[in-house]
Structure 1
Amino acid sequence: MRVAVLVYSLVMTIKLAIFDFDGTLADSYAVFADSVNVLAGRHGFRQVQWDEQHKLRGMSASELLRELRLPPWKVPAVMADFRNILQRHIHDIHPFPGVVDALHALLDKHMPLALATSNTLQNVTTVLGDALIGRFVMVECGTSLFGKSHRLRRILKHTRVANTEAIYVGDEIRDAEAANDAGMMFGAVAWGYTTMEALLRTRPGRLFRMPADMLELG
């Protein structure tokens, strides 16, 4: 039940907060939206019309692949190409307002933070800065489209934190699925790639409407 999830989230103690990057910490959606049809042309999947974007932002990764007629075997090449595009446009990508301050505040309250993302360490460091990334207990980059749960389990093993005492904060349905696969709570952010309506259907344990709300984790 939804009520049970909320009650559980209120009473549990968070000892580790793991974050997604794109759409959660970094505002990279504009670069993605501008690049998707370039990628479609290169890799042979369906072009996206401007008025389709809201509908697509309500889909899971699997649903999106079917909608774009993008076969799973092509996904690694598409993601690698997109990472290269992100790197070329990295100076157009910035943290969401308030995110950096919230992360530093959590760290100052001695909350261990980690990162699990499909983006590259170079891109992550360029956007967030060496000083902030250097304060994270672990950074796992370059995950596959559906490989985040493996990265989450690696972080839990490295930090020796129980899955019931950790949270994965993200903006996509696949983030919720990865957290669930790893036995962790999912924290949904309202400002990312996926619509809030779609994220609420995953029954997140925590909901963050603005970056300052993440301070409740500490």
Structure 2
Amino acid sequence: MLAEGKIAAPVTPALRGDVSCQVSFSNRSMAIKLAIFDFDGTLADTFPLFIDSINGLAVRHDFRQVEHHEVDRLRSMGAREILRDLRLPVHRVPRVLLDFRALMQQRSGEIRPFAGIAQALQSLADRQVMLALATSNSLANVEAVLGEALVERFAAVECSSGLFGKAHRLRRILQATRVERTDAIYIGDEIRDAHAARKIGIRFGAVGWGYTDFAALTRMSPDAAFNEPGELTGLADRS
């Protein structure tokens, strides 16, 4: 185990060569009026910071540290599986997330949106697709990474420190925007994002550049799959 509580070489998520490089829609007739986005791993490249800090968080919150060779295996799991593997009780998760959010705020200068994300969001908004955000991160961190001007283009932003409260956040966004479930899609990079979307009956779009292995994510049968950020603009063709 590493003395400093860090993994030796941060692993940046990479696009998977065994997944098509073209955006894929399972329902060709889907109309999209509202695109709801996850933040960490979908809009913001926070995975390197997460890997760099996870073992320090493990020491502070008494869960199992992660060896470098385990990262890819963990990326194929859902959130509850990861918690069991790390021996981290669910009731301790909010404090871990709060500490990670505080660390992000301290090191916000190291975090950037994924290449092409800002342009894709601007394009969708310009083409009358309503934008929203559902995240377990803080509004301060979202604005630090995306910039206040871009965040102002979002019709609704729901933030919380809960790991499994995304379905509730999605419902609040639908209520705030008054968009029908059939006209909305949630774009995310984790298996729990897919579960949250299905729980409230909206479509799910999987991205191939985030925390979860893309092959594992596409096994959730998403309604759309995006291999690179520029492909998100295809949602406007269905608005």
1:14-53 → structure 2 map (5 Å cutoff): 14-53=32-71
1:88-167 → structure 2 map (5 Å cutoff): 88-167=106-185
Tell me, which stretches of 5 or more residues in structure 1 are unaligned? Answer: 1-5
Partner residue in 1 for 2:215 = 197
Distance 2:161 2:221 in 1: 24
> Which contiguous aligned blocks of 4+ residues in structure 1 show a shift greater than 6 angstroms?
none
Residues 94 and 102 (structure 1), Cα distance of their counterparts in 2 relative to 1, 3 Å cut: same
Distance 1:142 1:84 in 2: 14
1:177-196 → structure 2 map (5 Å cutoff): 177-196=195-214
Q: Alignment RMSD, CA only? A: 1.1
Partner residue in 1 for 2:8 = none
8 Å CA contact 1:187, 1:206 repeated in 2: yes
8 Å CA contact 1:143, 1:151 repeated in 2: no
Distance 1:102 1:201 in 2: 25
8 Å CA contact 2:98, 2:161 repeated in 1: no
1:67-86 → structure 2 map (5 Å cutoff): 67-86=85-104
Partner residue in 2 for 1:3 = none
Partner residue in 1 for 2:193 = 175
Any idea what SS the aligned residue of 1:56 has?
A: helix
Q: Cα deviation per residue 1:66-85 (whole Å; 9 max; x = unaligned)?
A: 00010111111111111111
8 Å CA contact 2:97, 2:161 repeated in 1: no
Any idea what SS the aligned residue of 1:192 has?
A: coil
TM-score where L is the length of structure 2: 0.87
**How far 1:141 sits from its partner (Å)?**
1.1
Distance 1:143 1:14 in 2: 28
* 1:207 and 2:207 matched: no
Q: Percent identity?
A: 55
Answer 1 or 2: which has greater helix percent: 1
Q: Cα deviation per residue 1:22-72 (whole Å; 9 max; x = unaligned)?
A: 000000000000110000000100000001000001110000000001011
